[in-house]
Amino acid sequence: MKRADCIKALYPELHDRLVVTIMGACAQELYDLGHCDNFFYLEHAMGLASSIGLGLAMNLPHEKVVVLDGDGSVLMNLGGLATLARYRPSNLTHIIFDNGSLLSTGGFASHTTAGITDLAAIARGAGCPKVSLVTELYQFLEAAADAFEGNEMATIVAKVEAVGPDHYGMDLKLPENAFIFERYIKQRKQARQQVAGNK
Ligand SMILES: Cc1ncc(C[n+]2csc(CCOP(=O)(O)OP(=O)(O)O)c2C)c(N)n1
């Protein structure tokens, strides 16, 4: 299974959700499908996409939040899984694409390579309430649909090949991405408040 295929299949379901990705290959694969104002590609702060997703989900209970993470990034912030488990906002879906590799920086093996470290087991052990491990695209789509329809924080560990895009580059710098993302959130909040005020 390839991450790019997973993201492509998920893409139509992402338009009404706040999406936070890790940097590099994963971000590029989503961006290449067509950037939307509700996508935030976290650069530099490796490991913290899920922590940003957690903060968004807890502070914006009306929004649905999706984090597209990587094994190397999760391994860099393992304590984050316990924090996610503790607060477990029901509007958060955490997808970990486990390619066993630090792909974006040259393809060095990560601890999940050759099955050494089991991230789904770690997430379960951390207390994450709904963890699935998937290896096939149809399983990924079933798990994602289940996560999006359910009302419990979901963690999906998707085993994918260590392959990425053949190019890197976005016509969008981090500050611009952050400002647009923030404005998108504010505008939706205002629109909701307006509707509530009109009732
Ligand atoms: C603290 C820190 N260390 C290292 C890096 C360099 N770096 C950027 S992406 C990356 C690999 C990320 O691996 P993973 O989360 O598995 O995603 P993949 O690249 O495999 O898609 C590394 C090491 C960084 N940005 N920040």
- For the chain, domain boundaries: 3-198
pLDDT at res. 31: 98
pLDDT band at 34 (very low <50, low <70, confident <90, very high): very high
Kindly give the distance from the C-alpha atom of residue 194 to the centroid of ligand 1, in angstroms, as a whole number. 41
Return d(Cα 59, Cα 155) in angstroms, integer.
19
Average pLDDT for 62-68? 98
Which atom number of ligand 1 is nearest to the Cα of residue 104? 19
Kindly give the distance from the C-alpha atom of residue 118 to the centroid of ligand 1, in angstroms, as a whole number. 18
- Is pLDDT at 80 greater than 90 in this prediction? yes
The set of protein residues with a Cβ atom below 6 angstroms from ligand 1 is 22-26, 44, 46, 70-73, 99, 101-105, 110
pLDDT at res. 175: 97
Return d(Cα 94, Cα 183) in angstroms, integer.
23
Which CATH superfamily hosts domain 3-198? Thiamin diphosphate (ThDP)-binding fold, Pyr/PP domains (3.40.50.970)
Q: Where are the beta strands (DSSP E) in the chain?
A: 18-21, 39-41, 65-70, 92-98, 101-102, 108-109, 131-134, 154-159
- Is pLDDT at 153 greater than 90 in this prediction? yes
Q: What is the DSSP letter of 13?
A: G
List pLDDT tens digits, range 106-125: 999 999 997 899 999 999 99
Return d(Cα 93, Cα 130) in angstroms, integer.
10
Average pLDDT for 63-73? 98
Contact, 77 vs 96, CB < 8 A? no
For residue 10, count other CB atoms closer than 10 A to its CB: 22
